[in-house]
Structure 1
Amino acid sequence: MRSTTSSSFPSSSHKDITRAGLHFLKIRITNPSIIAPKIISNIGLVEKMEKVSRIIPKNPSKSPKVSNDHPEVMEKLYVILEAVSDRVEMHKNIGEQRNDWNSLLLTSINTITLSAATMAAIAAAITTTPGAPMEVLKLSSSFTYLAATGLLVIMNKIQPSQLVEEQRNAARLMKQLESEIKTKVAIGNPTLSDVNEAMKKVLAIDRAYPLPLLGVMLEKFPAKVEPAVWWPEIRRGSTNKGQNDRNGWSVELEKEMKDIIRVLEVKDKDDYLRLGKKALKLNKGLAIAGPILTGLGAIGSAFLGSSPHDSWAVVLGIMAGALASVVNTVEHGGQVGMVFEMYRSNAGFFKMMEESIESNLKERNEESRENGEVFEMKVALKLGRSLSELRDVAASSSKKGKDIEEFGSKLF
C-alpha cells in the first residue's frame, strides 16, 4: 500500500507540472509584451541618448551659448550685469537720501525763517517798552534770517527734488538694462558686440545721471531746455530674417513709421519741451525770490526801532519772512525742480524713439534692420497703443491740410 501510494503521487505531480509548463509557454507565445516591454524601452532610450550625444559638444567651451571666437564673452556679460545691479542699488539708496534732504531742508529753513519773523514782530511790539531786550531780538532775527538765506541758496543750487528724480530715472534705466542683459544670456549665443553695447549703455546712463554733486552735477538752470539723453548712438538691430524676404518690412510699414516720427516730433516732444521751459522759468523765479526775501527780512530786522525807517523795517522784517516761507514751500514742497526734470526726461524718451525708428529706416539693407513686425509691436507698446491704434494715428497724421491733433503716446 505504501509503495503504491508513493508511486502514484510523483506521477500525478509530474503531470501537473507538465500542464503548467505548457500553459506558461502559451502565455509567452500569445502575449510576448508581458516580458519584453522593458527591453524595447531600453533600446529606444539608448537610441535617444546616442542622438543627443551627437548634438551636445564634448568640449563645454564650444557650447552654442558662447561665441567660438570669444569664449570669455559670457563672463564679461556677467561682470557688466553685476555692475549694473550694484548701480541700481546705489541710485535707489542715494535717491532716498536726497529725498530726505529735500524734506529736512524744507522744514528746517521754513522753521528758521518763521522764527526770525516772529522775533522781528516781538521786537517791533516792544519798541516803546523801556528796558525791553529789543536789540537782542533784532540781532537774533537778523542773524537767523542770514542763516536761512545761506541754507536757501545752497538748497536752490542743488535742487534736491530734481536730484531725486534723476536717481529715480537712473535706477529705472539700470533695471531695464539689467533685464536686457539677462535676456541675452538666457537666449544664448551672445557676441562681443553685445558686450560693447552693454558697456556703452552703462556709461551713457552714468553721464546722463551722475551720482556725485561736485564737478559733474547737472546744470539745474540751463540756458536752453533740451531733452535728456541717456543712450549711446543707436545701432541697427538684429540681422535675423523675418517670415519673408523683406524681414517683415513693407512700403506701408515704412510710411507708417515716418508718420509716427512726425507725430512724436510735432506733438509729444515739442509739448514736453514747452512745459519744461515753463517749469524752468517758474523754478528760476522762485529760486531767486526766496533768498531775496530772507535777505530783505534780515535788513528790516536790523533797522527795527530806528525812527525814520521803523515803518518799512517792520514790514520787511515780518512780511518778508512770511513770504519767503511761502515761496520756499511752493518751490521745494511742490517739487518744481522734479517736475522740470520729468518733462526733460519725457522729451528725451520721444527723442530716443525717433532715433530708433530713423536708424532702421536709414538702413538700406532690410535684412540688417530689426524685424519689421517685431519693431512695430515694440513701438506700439512703448507708446501705450495697440497695433491698430498706432496705424490709425499714423494715418490721421498723413492727411494733407490737416494739423496733427492726437498725441502719439497714451502713457504720458
Structure 2
Amino acid sequence: MGRGTRLLLAVVCGVAVASVYAGQPLLGPMGHDLGVPRDSVGWFVAVGQLGYLAGLVLLVPLGDMVDRRRLIAAHLGLVAVGLAVTAAAPVAWVAFGGLAVAGVFAVVVQTTVAYAASISPPGERGRNLGVVTSGVVVGILGARIVTGAMADVWGWRSSYLALAVLAATVCVLGLAVLPADVRAGTERYGQVIRSLGGLFTQPTFLGRGLIAFFLFASFGTLWSGMALPLAVEPWHLSEAQIGLFGIAGLAGALGAARSGRWGDAGHPSRVTGIALTLLLGSWLAIGSLGWSLLLLILGVIVLDFAAQAVHVSNQHILTTAYPDRTSSTIGGYMVFYSLGSAFGAIATTALFDAAGWTGPTVLGAALALCALVTWVLADRVGISARRTTPRRGAARQDVCA
C-alpha cells in the first residue's frame, strides 16, 4: 500500500466518522433550535451511533462478498444524503432521521479498515492500520474544531452541509482512484451474517470487543459531555472555543500512531495494558474541569492517546487472528465500539444534569477501570489458550489474545 492510498483511506475514515460525531459541540444550539430538552440532547449523537450499530451488523459483512472499492463509494454517497437531510431539518424528528441514515452508512469506516488490512503485507499491517485508523480519531476530534467554529459564524446547520459536500467529493475521488478489490466472494449474505454471529463465541474476539465497549464508553463520556460544563459557570466558552479542545485530542491521538508498529513488533497486548492504565489516570486530570483548564487539556491528550493505541492494537490482533474474514471481524468488533459510544453519550448528559461534572467523571473512570480489568482477564485466557491448544492451523485463529 502506497502513501497516497493510505492517506486517501484515512480521509475516507475521517469524513465518515465525523458525520456521526459532528454534533458533540453543537448539542446546545441544536437542542434549542429543534426544541429538544437539555437532558435529551445526547440523543443527537446516540441516534447516529445506533444507526452505526445497525450498519455494522447488516452492511459491513458485505465487504467479504463484493468489491470494497464500489462499496466504499456507495456508502459515502449515502452518508452525504443523510447529512444533507440533517442540515435542512425543520423539526427534531427529521434531524434524527438524517443522523440515523448517516450513521448507518458511516460504517464505510470498517469496510475501509478491512480493505486496508487485506491489502497489507503481514509485516506492515499494524503500520498501515495505524495510519488509516488515525483518520477515525482525526475525524472525531477534528470535526469538533471545525463544526464549533462554523456554528459560531453560520449556525449549526452549516457544519452538516459542509460535511455532506465533503462526503460526496471523497465518494467520487475514491471510486476514481482506489484499485478494484477483486475476490472470489463465493459465500452468500446469509452465510456471512451467520459467521459474524459465530465470532461472538470466540474468546479473543469477545475479549477485545468488551475492551472496546468500555474504552469507547469512557471516550464518549468525555467528548459527548464536556461541552455542557464548559458552556456555563465558571468558563462560559462559546461553541468555537469548546471545539478547540479537539486540538488537544488530535495531539494525543496522532501521538499514538506508532502503536501499530509496536503491534508489528509483537507487543499489541502489552500496548493495550499500558494504554488502559493511562486511560484510567487521565480521568484524574479530567475531573479538574471545574477549576483548571490546563489539567483538563492534559487529561484530554492522555485519554485520546490511550484510546487510539488500544483501538489500533485491538484491530491488529483481530485481523491477524481472523485473516479470511476481515470485514465481518472488524464489523462485529465495532458493534461493541458503537454500543459503548452510544452509552457514553446518553449517560453523560443525564448524569451532568443530575450531579454536575462529578457524575460523568466518576462514570468515565469506572468504565476505564472495567476496560483494564477485562484486559487482565482476557490476557490470562490468551496465555492459557497458548499453553493448552495444539499447534494446528484450525486452532490458530483464537490464540492471539
Query: Given the two structures, how large is their TM-score scaled by the length of structure 2?
Result: 0.25
Task: Say which one has the larger Rg.
Answer: 1
Structure with greater contact order relative to length (CA < 8 Å, sep ≥ 6):
2
Query: Given the two structures, how large is their TM-score scaled by the length of structure 1?
Result: 0.25
Structure in which a larger fraction of residues adopt helix: 2
